[in-house]
Structure 1
Amino acid sequence: MLKLKRERMATTTTNANALLVAITLALLTCSPRCIYSAERRLLVGMTLVRNAPALGAFCLDGSLPAYHLHRGFGAGARNWLLQFEGGGWCNDIESCLERAKSRRGSTRYMTKWEVFSGILSNNASLNPDFYNWNRVKLRYCDGASFAGDAVFKNGTSLLYFRGQKIWEAIILDLLPKGLGQARKALLSGCSAGGLASFLHCNNFTKYLPSNASVKCLSDAGFFLDERDITSNHTMRYFVKDLVSLQGVEKNLDENCTASSLDFPELCFFPQYALKFITTPFFILNSAYDVYQFHHILVPSSADPHGHWNRCKLNPAACNPEQLNTLQEFRRDMIVAMGLFYKYSRRGGLFINSCFAHCQSESQDTWFSADSPRVHNKTIAEAVGDWYFSRRITKEIDCPYPCDTTCHNLIP
């Protein structure tokens, strides 16, 4: 009995030693970013814009707008990166009233601390070009990509469509905190926030010193004016209602709306607004953007019987006809960017073939050992090369399913 007990103890010790050796080897062979992944996340607290009411800047429910600021340091102390938060839109009273009761329409329901990762990380091994900049996340609570200016009252309900005022209030709050003396600046955003980058890019430049290097980046914000699978303009009608309800038209680019007099709301779409943006711009997008696939190309209204359900959940389950439809969508996106790709000398592109939506805020897709790549270049490397003019960056991936580096992030 004693002998058996000793043998068990010896086996346990051997297993423990083997486990210790395995862990040690893993740490020795792991890159610095692997070790950092186990460290504490960077959490940044919320700042409410106390002077916002003086500008009439309110979230949908009347609460104060907010942002999260993490200070830069060293050589990046006078550089600024502003990141618009995303989160869809509302285009009628019912959906906006619902939104006002959630984190998408009120700072009362938002998390008061935000994780800064990817392009917002403060770790040089995870975010090599922007880690030491002042990094700001602008919270999204208006439902119109920071572009509306209207109020709805009917005696019982009150909604503030004041995205444009929120944008102005946050900028004015940041200018005396150092933004007004910026040497370098990048206005960025994801999804509806990526669209906001298109809408506010030229305006952002006007707030900053004339000798500052100012550029803009849109991540998953190139929403197409595309017919759905039943040939209906589902997204165009959605945008028309949104622009009308939230008073967006007067805040769209005047040159664009003047050239689209019959349909000024089209200037909400980046493909029509892009040629009027004079500030250097970078477009980061998936050619098979999951949001656009699910809500623009194949909205539920266009597929009432769910023939596309399996394909939506797994591209490998798409039949040949569905795949052909997806390839046509990709072609339409690339065509919509054609003039920008060909003629923009200061513009950049990274169009991969991953089924994803938003790739700059997640560490896995922004910059890590197995991040998506086009021509062996990560998103972070492509954006950094473009911003600092190290080399021309206009990367367009081959069609699905050729890219083996993709992180297909399907909700």
Structure 2
Amino acid sequence: MNVKMVNIALAIVLALLTCAPCCIHSDDDRLLVSMTLVHDASALGAFCLDGSLPAYHLHRGFGAGEGNWLLQFEGGGWCNDIQLCLERAKTRRGSTRYMSKWEVFSGILSNNASLNPDFYNWNRVKLRYCDGASFAGDSKFDNGTSLLYFRGQKIWEAIIRDLLPKGLSTARKALLSGCSAGGLATFVHCDNFTSILPRNTNVKCLSDAGFFLDERDISLKRTMRTFFQNLVSLQVIFTREKCAWQGIEPNLDQKCTGSFDYPTLCFFPQYALEYITTPYFILNSAYDVYQFHHILVPPSADLRGYWNHCKLNAASCDANQIDVLQGFRRSMLVALSSFFTNSAGGGMFINSCFAHCQSESQDTWFAVDSPRIHNKTIAEAVGDWYYSRRVTKEIDCPYPCDSTCHNLIPSSQVQ
């Protein structure tokens, strides 16, 4: 190598070193928040599936947001039979022993004003999910060989008890949110959250990708209804001490369960929503990927794989498949029609992206190329609604009209 080439190489290295602090910064700029175990949880009987202690991640607010609180339920599906729950108990979905002890806070959890303009300086909490039933159960399984704790309700109570003396008890503003199974959890706990806080606290709730539909699949079977019925039935137990049944159903809205012959239906947000009195925001894709893959076209309804290519890329769907997807969208809008018309304090952002969970990812929450409806990002819509700056009930045009969408999340990435 001649002198000229050496000088060029050194110049390149020097340039890279000089710009490193400003050019190579993505990892360093991530907000990593440590895990807090709830050590007093055992006194309440609040345990993850495997008996480990529940946990959360808290990043403190500052400045004008010091007295405000945002709680975010983690998502991650469900288990509706003993074998599935035993397997889950050996993973991060059922035990804090296997969870990452640090979580990246982004999107609605970011502390950067330019990335999260309305909630960046609030106290932000991520509630870790380890009960397999959207923080709703209160029972256990013990056959002498295997032991599982179905204590989602107790986990919720234990985390709230831990947070109240840390400032939650004097919150001025509060937002209870969640993604996927965590989004469903907001329907279960929204009004309870309001009742816990002072009367003068401005409390609202947000569900992100949690509006799961009670819809027939392409074979006309109610696959998701059966799944939820098995989930609720699995956690039912009769306790002699209390002389009462325990499980998920007693923790669902009693006005809702009293209105149906099958109280299990109240685990579906579309039936629970009308009984919630706290102001609510529904953030969902009309073509939610999880629901597309597990409610509308579950594997059991497509044994020959006719939908496989369509599931991986909406552009590969044929005309008949697009018609089915448009029908699913119509079902979602019908399920939300009363809320859209009658909820004065409600908000909506129903876009036409093939996505699942859009509030925790910076790309979809608030970025230059984030999804938009009427040129409004999700972060702007949620902020406008929470602060009552304007009525925010945004419904996108049908696929494929929206050019701002981030399509597609492969099924392997869907939680």
Return the TM-score normalized by structure 1.
0.93
Partner of 2:243: none
Partner of 1:282: 281
2:354 is the alignment partner of 1:365: no
Quote the offset at 1:244 in angstroms: 1.2
Quote the offset at 1:7 in angstroms: 6.8
AA aligned to 1:148 is G
Partner of 1:31: none
CA distance in 2, matches of 1:140, 1:368: 27
CA distance in 2, matches of 1:8, 1:63: 60
Q: Kindly tell me: are residues 7 and 141 of structure 1, through their superposed partners in 2, closer, same or farther at Cα, counting changes over 3 Å?
A: closer
AA aligned to 1:282 is F
CA distance in 1, matches of 2:154, 2:202: 25
Quote the offset at 1:285 in angstroms: 0.3
Q: Within 5 A, what are the aligned runs for 1:131-280?
A: 131-246=120-235, 247-260=247-260, 262-280=261-279
Identity of aligned residues (%): 75
Q: Kindly tell me: are residues 124 and 7 of structure 1, through their superposed partners in 2, closer, same or farther at Cα, counting changes over 3 Å?
A: same
2:29 is the alignment partner of 1:40: yes
Q: Within 5 A, what are the aligned runs for 1:21-170?
A: 37=26, 39-170=28-159
CA distance in 2, matches of 1:42, 1:373: 25
2:376 is the alignment partner of 1:387: no
Quote the offset at 1:8 in angstroms: 5.5
**Farther off after superposition, 194-203 or 242-251:** 242-251
Quote the offset at 1:115 in angstroms: 0.4
Deviation per CA, 1:287-326, whole angstroms, max 9, x where unpaired?
Answer: 0000000000000000011110000000000010001000
Q: Kindly tell me: are residues 5 and 48 of structure 1, through their superposed partners in 2, closer, same or farther at Cα, counting changes over 3 Å?
A: closer
Structure 2 residue matching 1:46: 3-state secondary structure:
strand
AA aligned to 1:85 is E
Deviation per CA, 1:113-142, whole angstroms, max 9, x where unpaired?
Answer: 000000000000000000000000000000
**Farther off after superposition, 135-144 or 241-250:** 241-250
Quote the offset at 1:245 in angstroms: 1.1
CA distance in 1, matches of 2:35, 2:326: 42
CA distance in 2, matches of 1:6, 1:97: 66
Structure 2 residue matching 1:108: 3-state secondary structure:
helix
Structure 1 residue matching 2:121: 3-state secondary structure:
coil
Q: Kindly tell me: are residues 11 and 349 of structure 1, through their superposed partners in 2, closer, same or farther at Cα, counting changes over 3 Å?
A: same
CA distance in 1, matches of 2:24, 2:231: 45
Structure 2 residue matching 1:115: 3-state secondary structure:
strand
AA aligned to 1:401 is P
Quote the offset at 1:12 in angstroms: 6.8
Deviation per CA, 1:180-215, whole angstroms, max 9, x where unpaired?
Answer: 000000000000000001110000001100000000
Structure 1 residue matching 2:115: 3-state secondary structure:
coil
**Which structure 2 residue ranges, 5 or more long, are not aligned?**
236-246
CA distance in 2, matches of 1:328, 1:36: 44
Q: Kindly tell me: are residues 116 and 319 of structure 1, through their superposed partners in 2, closer, same or farther at Cα, counting changes over 3 Å?
A: same
CA distance in 2, matches of 1:300, 1:289: 16
Q: Kindly tell me: are residues 404 and 55 of structure 1, through their superposed partners in 2, closer, same or farther at Cα, counting changes over 3 Å?
A: same
Q: How many residues align?
A: 396
Tell me the C-alpha RMSD between the 2 structures. Answer: 1.9
Partner of 1:355: 354
Deviation per CA, 1:251-277, whole angstroms, max 9, x where unpaired?
Answer: 1000000001x1100000000000000
Quote the offset at 1:13 in angstroms: 9.0
Quote the offset at 1:343 in angstroms: 1.0
Quote the offset at 1:40 in angstroms: 2.3
Deviation per CA, 1:50-97, whole angstroms, max 9, x where unpaired?
Answer: 111111110000000000000000000000000000000011101000
AA aligned to 2:257 is T
Quote the offset at 1:332 in angstroms: 0.3
